[in-house]
Structure 1
Amino acid sequence: MKNRISVSLLLLLPLFTISQTLKVSSNNSYLETADGKPFLWMGDTAWELFHKLNREDAAMYLENRSEKGFTVIQAVVLAEQDGLRKPNAYNEIPLFENDPTRPNEKYFEHVDFIVNEAEKLGLVVGMLPTWGDKVTPAHGGGPVVFNKKNAFVYGEFLGNRYKNKPVVWILGGDRDVANDKEKEVWRAMANGLKAGDGGNHLISYHPRGAQSSHEKLHHEAWLDFNMYQSGHSNKYSDVYRFGEMLLEVKPRKPFVEAEPAYEDIPVEFWKYLDWNNSPPVPENVLNKDLIITKKEYFEQGFFDDHDVRVFAYWNFLSGACGYTYGNNAVWQMFEKGGDMAIPCLTDWRDALNRPGAESMRFVRKIFEHRPFHLLIPNQTAVLGNNPRDSLHVRAALASDKSFMLVFASVGQKLNINLSEMENGVVAWWYNPRNGKATKIGKMKNESNYQFVPPTSGRGNDWLLVLDDPKAKLESLKK
């Protein structure tokens, strides 16, 4: 029976041309392309992309993200928001009778289109075969449809279908692994993916908030790199704690921040999901299009562009090889007048060009000009008190000591030990908001040097770039 089902699934597979896939670097600290070039994971969270957008909108979305410098699009095949029962933009559901061994070809033709459009733009698809509520009953709409048997068959189907596409598999979907039975289902799905694609793609796992995949899965043979979700709990959250942890875990595996706080999401949003038990909503909070207009209703406010930049730099300077940006309206592809999973400030189209999304291009720019894969966290370079709040300072030194990066989240003064920079430094201020650099000048490798950013206060984040003058690095003025 199993073989018959598998063969029938294979008949659905389109013919694909071979494209480049990703692999883990030889030192197990970052990802790289098949030809050995370091790959900077600059992700965008588009969980409902396959489920909600039509082809025209999906193509427009992907072009926007490519233009902004994103390299990975994270999207879910069996989506969170009633993804099994609510049809896609073409009135197609993904599975017949909620059976993972009976995929609907018409639904997957739409997924094919989006994957192919992403490939044309040089984007990698971080593809979640399913949201976690289809495996575990812990919160969410479900229903639970997977067991060990059908998880393998479904994984094999997906693996075969996209074996020559630029895809990274992401299991999980905002869920903890609650017990051994659930772990066996995820393991079966991973093994199915590998059987289908011949091990051609990397696999990771997207956990719940404030958790990391290494906690339950690090020693699973199928887990190629770790993902963590720092979550949406508070501004200046110590996201760097994950890097501090994961650098000590053996054997070493690369790690990626897969879900930090989204731009435009309410801080501790879960307090506002149960409208019946939360404070009364003033009539003027929501306009007729269901767009939030009164931010002050939400006690702690919304995460903004400053927050997503801070989390990006704190992650990269703590050893992460990737960071995934998200916008609250974009992940759920919220349409004006439609239902909101979490209160939004705009619809998804307007959200595409929010300041935080615009600034991600400058994150990519600096970590390509000063290669991210060389960075090793170097907190000993930060002198004096270094609190774990808005004034926290992160520093990282290139493995060849050709440059050092230090991030001032609110433009605070930086007392830095330059002694490891043997030839002195050429110092720059890099503006994370617009990608412009200002040369500070040359200085000796002193054991204590103070740098004062051009501006200070919330929204005035700065990156200090310290170059070895003999390294002949590319000028940041370009």
Structure 2
Amino acid sequence: MKRYAALGLSLLSGLWSLCGADLPELRVSTDKRHLETTDGKPFFLLGDTAWELFHRLDRDETLLYLNKRAAQGFNTVFAVALAEFEFHLPNAAGELPLENNDPTKPREAYFSHMDWVIDEAAKLGLRTALLPTWGDKWNKKWGKGPEIFTPENAAVFCEWLGRRYADKPVIWVLGGDRPIENDNHRAIIRAMAAGLKKGDGGRHLVTYHPQGRKNSSDFWPDESWLDFHMFQSGHAQRFFANYDMNAKNLALAALKPTLDGEPCYEDHPVRGLMKDGKPTEWFDDKDVRMAAWRSVLSGACGHVYGTHSIWQFHDLTKRKQQTDARTPWKEALDLPGAKQMGVMRQIIEKQFFTEGLDWTKLRRDDSLVTLNGIEVTSQNKPMAAVTEDGSFAVIYVPGFAKNGLFFNGHKQMSGSIPETAMALDPATGDFLSAAATISGAGPVYMPMPNLGKEPWKGDWLLVLRKAKDK
């Protein structure tokens, strides 16, 4: 087992490879479950939500943010052209995006700054998941708007955007946290999609960002312009079953990749536990880690992380507090969950690959494990996946179960005895223990590894590999 200890992710103490002046374009894989580059390499989308990036940061601040996220292992940054908050105010350079709020009259100086941000991100290997507008500009619903889009001007604006960024490494994200409530809303989004496709020739992927606890498939179960599904499991409660939202998408007749585009944000109030309008509890790194691993092992094509201070770039020296943000954004860059997202990508892309294991072949299988004598709840539910050929399995155990679990996956792993069964720390990637030697045909008990104080609260990752044929 010493060789596995050496595979711990100590290389995250250094920087990820910062490259990417010419990032390859993306497409949907042939199995319609994942994304890949046009040269056929799997692409695990690891995003960070920086919605107000173009609007609120100056160039020095932008470089600080981009360099930090690239070093932490992110490969995609989510940002919006027409921002939600303080839309009436100019960006850090004093520029507004539109002339008289007219989408057919974009102002060059504002979008020149966007060009620069997207180019600087690309130099660091970061793609930009670009929202043409926040949703309050076509369905105010809540917030301040103003509603400025019609189907006609939406098509014009998005064709212009598509043409402008046709040669840039972008992913188009429509929606913006607002619901489709009538035929006019539907027509606006379809016009935006058509405009983008016309402008960039269909070169870039398109998805849709819905409001909390909603799924793009709720509105668009089978639209030709939508390349992959996105949902927002949101910030209302701990232990939300985002894996069921993936399951819904992967059961559709028109199969497309699926992604949790806005799970619980680190350092965000748990909205369902507010009292008298005030936060009482906040999501922490374990919350975001649990949401990430459960989503990925239930079939997501990647994951999107966020922190409550970063998406809005909370800075009391420049603006008032908004939506209960409490940590200055430059400090929030180093919240532990961000590095742990890089650990997850490292495990999936590098550690598995080093061992010759193909993460794109993993499929969720709840029958692989059972808890030891306790009821499964949304709090303690393990998430298990096994490859189609039975070569390896991965099980995320969120903790909250004191008595370990049973592995039942002999049939899925072709009746073979796995060569190794190792436990990893999903927060660090460190090797914890050899969980068990798998033998026989019946359930095999997997004890918890040593997780320190109150170990039953800790989460762990179990990786099983089938014995090689002799």
Q: TM-score, normalised by structure 2?
A: 0.88
After superposition, what is the alpha-carbon deviation per residue over 1:256-299, rounded to whole angstroms, capped at 9, x for unaligned?
Answer: 10000100011007958xxxxx46xxxxxxxxxxxxxxxxx633
Report the CA distance between 1:236 and its aligned residue: 1.0
Rounded to whole Å, the distance in 2 between the matches of 1:334 and 1:219 is: 38
| Amino acid aligned to 2:421 | A
Report the CA distance between 1:438 and its aligned residue: 3.4
Per the alignment, in what secondary structure is the counterpart of residue 335 of structure 1?
coil
Rounded to whole Å, the distance in 2 between the matches of 1:298 and 1:130 is: 29
Structure 2, unmatched stretches of 5+, are 1-20, 353-357
Rounded to whole Å, the distance in 2 between the matches of 1:90 and 1:269 is: 38
Structure 1, unmatched stretches of 5+, are 1-16, 273-277, 280-296, 473-478
- State whether structure 2 residue 462 is matched by structure 1 residue 464: yes
Change (3 A) 1:242 1:457: farther
Rounded to whole Å, the distance in 2 between the matches of 1:410 and 1:129 is: 40
Report the CA distance between 1:205 and its aligned residue: 0.3
Equivalent residue for 1:56, pick from 60, 68, 82: 60
Rounded to whole Å, the distance in 2 between the matches of 1:393 and 1:67 is: 30
- State whether structure 2 residue 378 is matched by structure 1 residue 389: yes
Q: Is the 8 A contact 1:306 1:459 kept in 2?
A: no
Residue 169 of structure 1: aligned partner:
172
Rounded to whole Å, the distance in 2 between the matches of 1:269 and 1:341 is: 18
Residue 309 of structure 1: aligned partner:
289
- State whether structure 2 residue 363 is matched by structure 1 residue 363: no
Q: Is the 8 A contact 2:246 2:259 kept in 1?
A: no
Kindly report the root-mean-square deviation, in angstroms, between the aligned alpha carbons of the 2 structures: 1.9
Report the CA distance between 1:434 and its aligned residue: 1.1
Per the alignment, in what secondary structure is the counterpart of residue 162 of structure 2?
helix
**Is the deviation greater in 394-403 or in 105-114?**
394-403
Equivalent residue for 1:424, pick from 417, 442, 449: 417
Report the CA distance between 1:365 and its aligned residue: 1.2
- State whether structure 2 residue 430 is matched by structure 1 residue 443: no
- State whether structure 2 residue 206 is matched by structure 1 residue 203: yes
Q: Give aligned pairs, total.
A: 432
**Is the deviation greater in 440-449 or in 201-210?**
440-449
Rounded to whole Å, the distance in 2 between the matches of 1:111 and 1:386 is: 51
Residue 150 of structure 2: aligned partner:
147
Q: 1:239-388 maps to which residues of 2 (within 5 A)?
A: 239-268=242-271, 271=274, 278=276, 298-299=279-280, 301-337=281-317, 338-368=319-349, 369-370=351-352, 371-383=358-370, 387-388=376-377
Rounded to whole Å, the distance in 2 between the matches of 1:111 and 1:244 is: 36
Q: Is the 8 A contact 1:19 1:164 kept in 2?
A: no
| Amino acid aligned to 1:437 | F
Equivalent residue for 1:111, pick from 92, 109, 114: 114
Report the CA distance between 1:58 and its aligned residue: 0.7
Rounded to whole Å, the distance in 2 between the matches of 1:114 and 1:142 is: 25
Q: TM-score, normalised by structure 1?
A: 0.87
Rounded to whole Å, the distance in 1 between the matches of 2:79 and 2:345 is: 21
Same amino acid, percent of matched pairs: 40
Residue 80 of structure 2: aligned partner:
76
After superposition, what is the alpha-carbon deviation per residue over 1:113-157, rounded to whole angstroms, capped at 9, x for unaligned?
Answer: 110011111111110000000011211211011111111111111
Residue 190 of structure 2: aligned partner:
187
**Is the deviation greater in 365-374 or in 402-411?**
365-374
Q: Is the 8 A contact 2:62 2:117 kept in 1?
A: yes
Q: Is the 8 A contact 1:135 1:185 kept in 2?
A: yes
Runs in 1 of length 4+ with deviation above 3 angstroms?
Answer: 269-272, 456-459
Report the CA distance between 1:317 and its aligned residue: 1.1
